[in-house]
Structure 1
């Protein structure tokens, strides 16, 4: 079952599902009793899984089909690309960026006719032959340690000009240039081929993001006042260890996961069931939610990325917290956790139907800054959903946005 495969790939640890898990406790000066709560990560996992298990069928979606890989290669054939293993080689030929890079170049070249050529070090021929690459026709060029790897590529493939993937290492660019090849950067047109998602890609992104949200919602049902930071987060970041969750404290959970190579990126700022919070902190949560709504309403076809960012930022600025919204509104999501399009103030790119970008406004005030906003201790709130751009507006790939800290 795909569910089992996904869990195996993601190490099966619910609280560390995927590439990274960040949880921090953000509070005002509150104190109070601490009712009994799961005393260990294992107990919290078991509690969360009892709520999450019913949503496991969300992950039963097929991977990208062979026919789609071949279609991608044909679409790319209008441009020339040479690159080492990266998100682009995963996209076009199913060569994962997890293939270990070394100083020995292994290149994938797609020419204007749609032909696929691989430049393979003789030392690595056996290992590379085991890769599940997808292609219609393929030419393999090997090179030995006694020669420059780029000379046989130029000699055999007749390369004179290549467009390199944005992830290509400098040594590859320099080596191609030394061999007499003109190297040009990836064009916007080629880059957009990956940015606009197909139906199959959207299905995978919907599945893994909806499941990740259900993971967060399951955790919210199990986290209680009195829980330790270590019990909740397998790998706590950005905060002191040994913290115990108090009544009135918000919990920020940011989780990313992977299914068939495609990522999820979901953040919720939550409260345990039955917990209370000050009116001021609740007002800040609502401000962030309104900022997300303002950005969401602008995630339409032909909207400029900078305008989407500005719409969300204006809500935070009007509430008096502008300096504490310290990052861009969002980033593209697909085979990479961060990829185009980027929702920031400097990006003039106009959104296209089929593009996916996160919408994640936040307000973060450190304890050192708290006095600037009339507080005694720091706090922070962020809400994040990946949004699919469609002809009729944005669609949250999580399936739903947060309604409150108690209903994430």
Structure 2
């Protein structure tokens, strides 16, 4: 190969190496581009080589920057190529000047990549020194609702079988109607009247989710056990599609130009009726104006729903045990740095995944937020030293769950003082459950629970009643408070939910920096021997809900 041809090829190789950004990337690649240095070189190159100390090929082109720049320049000059200074001439953007030389697209690409990388590095360094996490672990432990759901489902999915219980049978619905008819006859009234509500769900499977309007749709059960309903004529088709349960039925329709209450009196002949406790005032007023006497729901009729059947207890046990297992699965996965919204959304997704998402509700509170029993604001992130209060429920066949736990994540801790507050609330719940038996009054059960918290010096911070009935309604009879002398009956289900709630302002008066709240809640079945948790078991500690 003659010298001129060799120089041209070598110059082209060097230009290609620089354009592709591989020049000087590492010694091995440099050696590839310089392996032919023993071949004839230009006089200038030979002169430069003779003036240098003996060095290796790699050192020539990697270790000695000044020398290899001279070699490159010589090749460029003899090959008639533009100098490196010309190629790398800056773009004078501010003056609108752009070099007219054609630059390799690979050179431009590498420049852009390097620029982007530099900007990203500057941004990351700036963010590190200017954005401070709310607590030491927030940046590492922030959980999305989807990741929290995925983590929790691994534990929860084995408990979905708890929901495999039968719905209320047709036989039981008809039995309920017969018991109601007997109570109406004993009360001396002609019929029981209800709008879509928990009562119609209980007696006829007409869900309370049926929307109410100014046009009355009334379910009627007479003292003779006859089932009927009054409805607008144009709504008859839609109402007929409801899965109502009855032995036989009568349908009373009213037209838009008619007064519905006058139609009811004319068609039924009722003179005196008992109204469900949820009936709106306009219904009562309309009936009275039509000449029908109305009376409120009697305690005897009220008790029909309060005392649960075995079928109802099976449903309540299933949905409440599952709800507790859901809380336990969440507790295992919650980390410091999680948000309220992530916990709320994950719980909703878990209920839905199990097929019982309709009816879901929850209160999720962190730290001092729990000083307000039912919370308020959202957007808080769980910090170090804070409890998580989860009050949660959903529905199975319209029967609800209502479970509360105050927990700590696996990586969380609280002060000794807060730990002792949790223990006081737990002891208060224990005192109440032992009295949840037949013939104990609601007020006495409330007092037993309250005494434990009072004796611990926090009586003023137990700010609500002990509990309420649970069934087709989240809050129903009986109510456990100091003013209710009603005696408990076997088969009733009531919640047992003592709590201590201290605002930040109150906490400072106690020598504490911030407020706090602790509540524990289980639905309890009243028996002859004492209360039985329908959650299956009670909390053992903030780590074992």
TM-score scaled by length of structure 1: 0.90
Unaligned runs of 5+ in 1: 1-29
Using CA pairs under 8 Å that are at least 6 residues apart, name the structure with larger relative contact order, 1 or 2: 1
1:134 aligns with 2:245: yes
Q: Which residue number corresponds to residue 216 of structure 2?
A: 105
State the Cα deviation string for residues 327-383 of structure 1 (Å, max 9, x = none): 110010000000001001111110000000000000111112112322110000000
Report the Cα offset of residue 31 of structure 1: 6.3
Q: Distance in 1 between matches of 2:253 and 2:138?
A: 65
Higher alpha-carbon deviation: 237-246 or 370-379: 237-246
Q: Label 1:275 to 1:76 Cα distance change in 2 as closer, same or farther (>3 A).
A: same
For residue 62 of structure 1, what is the aligned residue in structure 2? 166
Higher Rg: 2
Question: Hey, which of these two has a bigger chunk of helix by percent?
Answer: 2
- Offset, 1:36: 3.7
**In structure 1, how many angstroms separate the alpha carbons of the residues matched to 2:281 and 2:463?**
31
Q: 1:43 and 2:147 equivalent?
A: yes
Q: More displaced, 373-382 or 68-77?
A: 373-382
Tell me whether 1:292 sits opposite 2:403 in the alignment. Answer: no
Gap runs ≥5 in structure 2: 1-133, 185-190, 346-361, 366-374
What does residue 209 of structure 1 align with? 320
Shift of 1:70: 0.1
Match among 267, 288, 294 for residue 156 of structure 1: 267
Which residue does the alignment assign to 1:353?
490
Cα distance between partner residues in 2 of 1:32 and 1:117: 65
- CA RMSD between the two structures: 1.5
Equivalents in 2 of 1:229, 1:107: separation in Å? 41
Shift of 1:246: 2.4
Task: Give the SS at the match of 2:341.
Answer: helix
Determine if contact 1:35/1:224 at 8 Å carries over to the other structure: no
Q: 2:336 aligns with which of 225, 245, 262?
A: 225
Aligned residue among 185, 192, 213 for 2:303 = 192
3-state DSSP of counterpart to 1:390 = coil
Which SS does the other structure have where 2:439 is aligned?
Answer: coil
Matched residue of 1:268: which SS?
A: strand
The answer as to 2:515 corresponding to 1:378 is yes
Aligned counterpart in structure 1 of residue 233 of structure 2, from 90, 98, 122: 122
Give the distance between the partners of 1:160 and 1:105, measured in 2 at CA. Answer: 19
TM-score calculated relative to the size of structure 2: 0.68
- What are the Cα deviations for residues 160-180 of structure 1, in whole angstroms up to 9, with x where unaligned? 000100000001000110111
Q: Secondary structure at the match of 2:141?
A: coil
Task: Find the counterpart in structure 1 of residue 391 from structure 2.
Answer: 254
Q: By how many angstroms is 1:231 displaced? A: 2.1
Contact 1:36 1:224 in 2 (8 A): no
Alpha-carbon shift at residue 392 of structure 1 (Å): 2.2
The structural deviation recorded for 1:222 is 0.1
1:124/1:240 Cα in 2 relative to 1: closer, same or farther (>3 Å)?
closer
Tell me what 1:325 maps to.
Answer: 462
